[in-house]
Amino acid sequence: MLDSRWAAPIRSNGRQAWHTSVEREDENVEYGWRAKIGLVKPSSNGKSFAFSYLTAPQGVDVVPSHVDFRHTDRQQFLDGIENEEALVRDLHGRGCDLVLVSGTPPWLLKGLEFERAWRHRLEDELGIPVVTPMEPHALALTALGVKRVAVATYYRQELNEAIVRYLKEFGIECIVLPELEGRGDAQLYTRSMTTLQELSFADVYKYCRRGVLQVAPDVDGVYINGGAWDAAPAIQLLEDDLELSVVYAQAAVTWYAYRRLRIRNARDGFGRLLREWPPLPADAT
Task: Report residue 21's pLDDT band, with 50, 70 and 90 as the boundaries.
Answer: very low
Helix crossing, 4-11 with 46-54: angle to 10°?
30
Main-chain phi, psi angles of 14, to 5 degrees: 100, 0
Model pLDDT, residue 2: 41
Model pLDDT, residue 46: 66
Q: Sketch the domain layout of the chain as residue ranges.
A: 4-133+250-276, 136-248
Model pLDDT, residue 162: 95
| Out of 78-82, 170-174, 187-191, 260-264, least confident range | 187-191
Q: Is the pLDDT of residue 279 over 80?
A: yes
Considering the segment(s) 4-133+250-276 as one domain, its CATH architecture is 3-Layer(aba) Sandwich (3.40)
Task: Report residue 23's pLDDT band, with 50, 70 and 90 as the boundaries.
Answer: very low
Model pLDDT, residue 89: 96
The yes or no reply on domain 136-248 and CATH 3.40.50.12500 is yes
- Whether 207 contacts 214, CB under 8 Å: no
Amino acid identity for residue 27 in this structure: E
Model pLDDT, residue 17: 34
Between 265 and 66, whose confidence is greater?
265
Q: Is the pLDDT of residue 14 over 60?
A: no
Q: What is the mean pLDDT of the chain?
A: 85
Task: Report residue 113's pLDDT band, with 50, 70 and 90 as the boundaries.
Answer: very high
Q: Which residues contact 147 (CB under 8 A, 6 or more apart)?
A: 171, 172, 173, 220
Q: What b/e readout covers 158-177, taking b as 16+ CB neighbours within 10 angstroms?
A: ebbebbeebbeebebebbbb
Mean pLDDT within 256-268 = 97
**Same fold for the domain at 4-133+250-276 and the one at 136-248?**
yes
Between 260 and 18, whose confidence is greater?
260
Residues 144-194 pLDDT 10s:
999 999 999 998 888 999 999 999 999 999 999 998 876 555 556 666 666
